[in-house]
Structure 1
């Protein structure tokens, strides 16, 4: 095989590899036609507390919006509405301290085969542990493309004595990936700068990640094309070495 033939062979192999990567990515992001849950920011500040990234985004409008709202049912029992963009899961976390991952309570809405599955998790020192000690219940959920929505109720644990009320927590919004249906470590999209009373519709929360100039990103398989491109470069390099020999 002469040098020209070798070059043509290498280029064809690279293009084929890139084509397979693009096909795999498109199949990962395939849309689900299930009808969406009706989550809206209409009642924020009147009957429900709300937090969002970007600030003030409306979950009922198409686009990228991480959103959580809470409203009091009775006592420690709260209703949650959660929305976010991820291939695998979105979650809301409740922490007694500003340092997340220290015995926090995580409520996960996971996309498993285009169906929302609800998980209650303890998050401590970077380790997620499934638990049935948190009293919670999925009301409804939906998946549309990478948008995951769910509405659930939870009997939240008591906050510590340093909080303004028994329903005051630092609140977080997460996104993450699944391995064999089990959540991997979450990526924080929103962490409140202070504890907020989740039963108070007039409470406000500021995203501490914005004040640190952090970039909001979702995790999951959205970046699955990157390994494919790396493989293509390796094939190209191997072809060039072959030519030089």
Structure 2
């Protein structure tokens, strides 16, 4: 095989590999769920927090999302979605240091069914409790995505808060081992207290991860496409030189 043939063969192989990689990258499982969680009413009838910022839970992809809408007083409806093979959870804390007797509502994947529980989170440990009235209304597991809609009577915030419904809010995920919940991993924790009853309230992720400002599938895919195009141009140049 002469040099020209080798270059042409290399170009063909690289393009074939790129095509296979793109197919694998874009392939997603076709999930169906009876739970309809959406960001449509954010800012109008419900408060919302999400990671990445502004992601839409109704669109396939990685989106950690929680919304709250007030029923009356301390009674709220919650929508929660996240990705985990174990559990996702939303936590309410009275102070900026989370994990100090916080209220945490957990939606766990137990044999592909949602198992819901209310817990106290203290020193890295979740302890189920019946002191936090709550009720699972609907839930589903589809692959790594866990969704649940539940109602809960949130505890009163301390007197230092501007509202009895103002908390630091967190989104967690974690593992489940033999039915036991592992320590929560924070995906989102608000930088300040937010009033769960105020649809216009905003929450910024204090974790400041790079993903918090990313659009789903945006920067990563764009970089991959740019590198792919550059590689094709380089190979094209090599072919031209060899001709």
Question: Normalization by structure 2: what TM-score?
Answer: 0.73
- What residue is the counterpart of 1:134 in the other structure? 132
- What residue is the counterpart of 1:169 in the other structure? 167
Deviations 1:171-222 (A, max 9, x none): 0000000111111001000000000000000000000001xx4778xxxxxx
Instruction: Decide whether aligned partners of structure 1 residues 204 and 33 sit closer, same or farther in structure 2, where only a CA change above 3 A counts.
Output: closer
Gapped regions of structure 2 (runs ≥ 5): 1-28, 213-243
Shift of 1:34: 5.8
CA RMSD after TM alignment: 1.5
- What residue is the counterpart of 2:53 in the other structure? 55
Shift of 1:35: 2.4
Kept after mapping to 1: 8 A contact 2:82/2:88: yes
Shift of 1:125: 1.4
Give the 5 Å matches for 1:1-245: 35-210=33-208, 213=209
Shift of 1:164: 1.1
Kept after mapping to 2: 8 A contact 1:168/1:198: yes
Kept after mapping to 2: 8 A contact 1:36/1:149: no
Greater relative contact order (Cα 8 A, min sep 6): structure 1 or 2? 1
Count of residues in Structure 1 that have an aligned counterpart in Structure 2: 184
Kept after mapping to 1: 8 A contact 2:68/2:76: yes
- What residue is the counterpart of 2:238 in the other structure? none
Which one has the largest radius of gyration? 2
Shift of 1:110: 0.4
Deviations 1:65-120 (A, max 9, x none): 00000000001000000000000100000000011001100000000000001011
Deviations 1:104-155 (A, max 9, x none): 0000000000000101110011121111111000000001110000000000
- What residue is the counterpart of 1:28 in the other structure? none
Residues in 2 aligned to 1:75 and 1:32: alpha-carbon distance in whole angstroms = 40
- Where 2:50 maps in the other structure, the secondary structure is strand
Kept after mapping to 2: 8 A contact 1:78/1:153: yes
- Where 2:200 maps in the other structure, the secondary structure is coil
Kept after mapping to 1: 8 A contact 2:167/2:195: yes
Shift of 1:158: 0.2
Shift of 1:36: 3.9
